[in-house]
Amino acid sequence: MNVSLLLIILLAGALITYLSGDKLASKVALVFSLGAFGVSIALLNSLSLGEDINFVAPWINQPKIAFALAADGLSIAMLLLTTALTPIIIFSSFGTEFKNAKSIYSLILFMAFAMAGTFLAADGLLYYIFWELSLIPIYFIALIWGNGDAEDRKDAVIKFFIYTLAGSLFMLVAFIYLYQKAGSFMIEDLYALDLTLEEQTWIFGAFFLAYAIKIPLIPFHTWQAKVYQKAPAVGTMLLSGIMLKMGLYSVIRWQLPIAPNAAKEYMDILIGLGIAGVIYGSIVALRQKDLKKLLAYSSLAHVGLIAAGSYALNLDGLRGAVLQMIAHGFVVVGLFFVAEIIYRRYETRNIADMGGIRKQTPKFASLFLILVLASVALPTTFNFVGEFTVLYSLSQINIWYAVLGGTTIILGAYYMLKMYQHVMLGETNTKPFAEVNFNEGFALVIIVAVLFVFGIYPKPINDLITPSLEHILTVINR
């Protein structure tokens, strides 16, 4: 099966959605996003049958650049995450009216196209192009359809754009240097380079700036909370559920195998930064009064742990990081959707203005509670599998890494349950709160089902990603 079909569907979907007009845009976008998910399932089936699903075509002769796409278990796992969450995000927006709807829905599909391309690219410059393309739609989504004061929103979005673009330029310089050494941008040629420790250190640092800003890791996180707060719900879901995974995926796919000795040299510092993010994000989340900002800092804590697992440089760390990427994608989209549902009824994100919702909406309260428990890694939920595996990998290096990293569970349980208590229990807000409608309930039930199914039986994803991660570890330890 031609792997480029997935990109064609998403790109064509973006164009047709725009041409379909405002009334049909959301439905057309949903159809194309579901089609992309179907293609991802077909790619998974082709991989299991051992079929060749890579795609390489000459593109530019000088410098030598190929339109090269490669789909192994790791990239297909990320494609499944992207193409599964995209229709959920689109469907969840059906309760929101957008001005110029054709534009925002076409931008969502174009962003999915760019992110899918990032996960598939096997040529360094092609990967960089997809990486940068994903910035364009989220910039306009947050700027035009965001909430709050227009000037404040503009400042937050421009800061995010400049930060991420500046970090990416360092990565581009690194790719140009690697091309001069290898004569090619192809990923396997870059893997085969024999770089000195000094060269690897500079290359590693250049990649790190791009990825640390995108993930984000502290102290490169300053754009995150404001943008998550100001972006519309669909933008926040795209950013937190999928886009930040581009940085984590790229650490495993590009940074570690190309500069493995630098990764080993600075492993303790890198793990320390990840764990610092866990502690910092959790402590700051405790002090938040805005629901979206609380969830933003909670996300910062979780991705810090994922990054720590990635930099542990062992199979359990890489595997746990990927499992947690996928689990975090679903749970954070669910939580931000809950925040949007509450905003639709109360028109506020101030936690102090909420309360007593459980008495009026027991179904919604139950679904929200499950998402909260999944977020704090309750056993039988998907997040538990990922977090436990990452903590186990850290314990193999230093037991204190696992102890400190485990604070995400303890502190997370405290601030998430405290938040749930203030939002859902206590005195009833004077404004009535309607029970979730079919669209809202259906989207939440799908997310909850995924978290339980793979929390109880994660073997299919383990089997899918492990061969790719073993190959990457072989390159790292060569």
- Three-class DSSP labels, 225-260: HHHHHHCCHHHHHHHHHHHHHHHHHHHHHHHHHHCH
Res 427 pLDDT > 80? no
Please tell me the predicted confidence (pLDDT) of residue 429. Answer: 67
Report pLDDT digits (tens) over 363-418.
999 999 999 999 999 999 999 999 999 999 999 999 999 998 887 778 888 999 99
Give the Cα separation of 259 and 195 in Å (integer). Answer: 8
Res 121 pLDDT > 80? yes
Report pLDDT digits (tens) over 235-246.
999 999 999 999
Helices 362-375 and 382-397: crossing angle, nearest 10°? 10
Percent of the chain with pLDDT over 90: 75
Banded pLDDT at 464 (limits 50, 70, 90): very high
Please tell me the predicted confidence (pLDDT) of residue 348. Answer: 87
Give the Cα separation of 260 and 272 in Å (integer). Answer: 18
CB atoms within 10 A of CB 250: 21
Question: What separation in angstroms does the CA of 39 have from each of 46, 88, 449?
Answer: 10, 16, 22
Could you tell me the end-to-end alpha-carbon distance of the chain, in angstroms, rounded to an integer? Answer: 32
Region 236-263: what's the mean pLDDT?
95
Banded pLDDT at 431 (limits 50, 70, 90): confident
**DSSP bridge partners of 69:** 55, 121
As a 3-state breakdown, the chain gives helix, strand, coil percent values, each rounded to 5, of 80, 5, 20
Q: Which of 156, 263, 151 is nearest to 207 (CA)?
A: 263
Report pLDDT digits (tens) over 128-148.
999 999 999 999 999 999 887
Report pLDDT digits (tens) over 318-364.
999 999 999 999 999 999 999 999 999 888 889 988 888 888 899 99
Please tell me the predicted confidence (pLDDT) of residue 406. Answer: 84
Percent of the chain with pLDDT over 70: 99
Q: For residue 370, what are the contacts with CB-CB under 8 A and spacing of at least 6?
A: 381, 448, 451
Q: Which of 90, 102, 108 is nearest to 443 (CA)?
A: 90
Give the Cα separation of 112 and 125 in Å (integer). Answer: 19
Please tell me the predicted confidence (pLDDT) of residue 430. Answer: 64
Region 106-123: what's the mean pLDDT?
96
